[in-house]
């Protein structure tokens, strides 16, 4: 892999390692500039800011960004830290540790879905990457990726229009089809979100607030009315905590979370052990019972956020509490049985 790419990976790893130790980072830190780049000054400050912004963009759900004074600064600076260093950063560090010397699979996935990406690189980087891809092409097979959703549905042009709108904090009018066509005027384009194998647009509507629109249902994107051009970036910041807790398209903004206590039967308990990757961001292992079943909890803002998951695992998962969720599941299951009789 090229020296440029290796250097960036190493620098980001160092910064994530410092965050994991509980340090608060900011681009004006001359000691940190010297440690990373061997010099101080405006160029080193800009470079450090770019790396910190990249980390914030990649791991916004775990990185806290705030303006305040530090002991060594006279004016407020942008400070980067982590919300829960034990829970969050360890997963990222593990990824860097395991893959920093072998990112060929990432490069191959990108190349398989967009072969033109190599043309945008410097020749020295392109030669190294092409060699890396060639060496690994008989090792990996990718059956799904974020790119596939755009190519197969012909949504690339719409995606690029929305990407521009999100980047520039712009309004758009969207023609949305879900059973029937709906014209959604003057939407604030907040974020593009990839989850559950689908792309979504997180946007704010004047009267209804934040909405999550599935990209495959968006038929047309147009500029908004003349007096609706750009909005304040603070609207994006307003939803930072929401995106940090977003689990799927049914997670509601400005709605308090409830706790569901669930039990996985011994036959499927393996998938819900504390060491296993959770199915939900809020999922927590509680205990293993004598019969081998596992008790765990999941937070939710509305039943639809977790009921499809519970139904998928029937009859291996049962609801311990709350009763309202039990009744909602029973009602849905009864209707399903009636439809099959």
DSSP characters over 37-101: HS--SHHHHHHHHHHHHHHHHHTTTTEEEEEE--TT-SS-EEEEEES-TTTTHHHHHHHHHHHTT
Predicted pLDDT at 282:
93
Q: What is the pLDDT of residue 1?
A: 45
> What does the domain layout of the chain look like in residue ranges?
3-98, 104-136, 149-245, 258-340
The confidence score (pLDDT) of residue 188 equals 96
Can you give the pTM of this predicted structure? 0.63
Q: In what order do the strands lie in the sheet with 171-177?
A: 209-214, 198-205, 181-195, 171-177, 218-223
Angle between helices 42-58 and 30-37 (to 10 degrees): 90
pLDDT of residue 334: 93
Q: What is the pLDDT of residue 274?
A: 92
Q: Which pLDDT score is estimated for 162?
A: 93
Class of 149-245 in CATH: mainly beta
Q: What is the pLDDT along the chain (341 residues), one digit of tens a residue?
A: 445 555 777 788 788 878 877 788 999 988 888 888 888 888 889 889 988 988 887 776 678 888 888 777 778 899 988 866 555 555 555 555 455 555 566 666 666 666 665 665 556 656 666 776 676 666 666 666 666 566 666 688 899 899 999 999 999 999 999 889 999 999 999 999 988 878 899 999 988 899 999 999 999 999 998 888 999 989 998 898 898 889 999 999 888 999 999 999 999 999 999 999 899 989 999 999 999 999 999 999 999 999 999 999 999 999 999 999 999 999 999 999 899 88
CATH architecture type of domain 3-98: Orthogonal Bundle (1.10)
The sheet with strand 258-264 has its strands ordered as 284-288, 294-300, 258-264, 317-321
The span from the CA of 129 to the CA of 2, in Å, is 7
Please state the separation of Cα 30 from the chain's center in Å: 31
302 pairs with which residues across the strands? none
Using CA of residue 195, residue 201, residue 204, residue 207, what is the dihedral sign?
negative
CATH of 258-340, one of 3.40.1000, 3.30.70, 3.90.220, 1.10.8: 3.30.70
Confidence (pLDDT) at 6: 59
* pLDDT for residue 315: 94
* φ and ψ of 140, to 5 deg: -110, 150
């Amino acid at each position: 892999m090229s020296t440029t790419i290796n250097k960036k990976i190493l620098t980001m790893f160092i910064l994530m390692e410092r965050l994991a130790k509980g340090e608060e980072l900011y681009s004006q830190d001359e000691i940190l500039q010297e440690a990373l780049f061997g010099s101080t000054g405006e160029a080193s400050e800009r470079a450090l800011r770019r790396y910190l912004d990249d980390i914030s963009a990649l791991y916004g759900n775990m990185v806290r960004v705030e303006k305040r004074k530090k002991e060594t600064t006279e004016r407020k600076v942008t400070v980067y830290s982590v919300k829960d260093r034990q829970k969050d950063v360890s997963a990222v560090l593990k990824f860097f540790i395991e893959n920093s010397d072998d990112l060929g699979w990432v490069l191959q996935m990108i190349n398989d879905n967009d072969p033109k990406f190599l043309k945008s690189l410097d020749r020295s980087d392109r030669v190294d990457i092409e060699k890396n891809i060639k060496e690994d092409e008989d090792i990996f097979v990718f059956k799904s990726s974020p790119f596939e959703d755009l190519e197969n549905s012909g949504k690339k042009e719409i995606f690029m229009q929305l990407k521009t709108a999100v980047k520039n904090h712009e309004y758009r009018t969207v023609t949305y089809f879900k059973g029937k066509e709906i014209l959604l005027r003057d939407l604030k384009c907040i974020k593009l979100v990839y989850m559950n194998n689908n792309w979504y647009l997180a946007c704010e509507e004047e009267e209804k607030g934040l909405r999550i629109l599935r990209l495959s249902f968006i038929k047309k994107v147009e500029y908004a009315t003349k007096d609706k051009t750009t909005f304040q970036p603070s609207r994006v910041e307003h939803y930072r905590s929401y995106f940090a807790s977003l689990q799927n398209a049914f997670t509601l903004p400005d709605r308090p979370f409830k706790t569901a206590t669930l039990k996985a039967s011994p036959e499927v308990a393996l998938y819900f052990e504390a060491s296993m990757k959770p199915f939900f961001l809020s999922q927590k292992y509680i205990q293993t019972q004598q019969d081998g079943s596992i008790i765990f909890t999941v937070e939710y803002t509305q039943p639809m956020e977790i009921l499809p998951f519970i139904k998928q695992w029937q009859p291996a998962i049962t609801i311990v509490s709350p009763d309202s969720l039990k009744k909602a599941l029973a009602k849905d299951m009864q209707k399903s049985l009636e439809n099959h009789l």
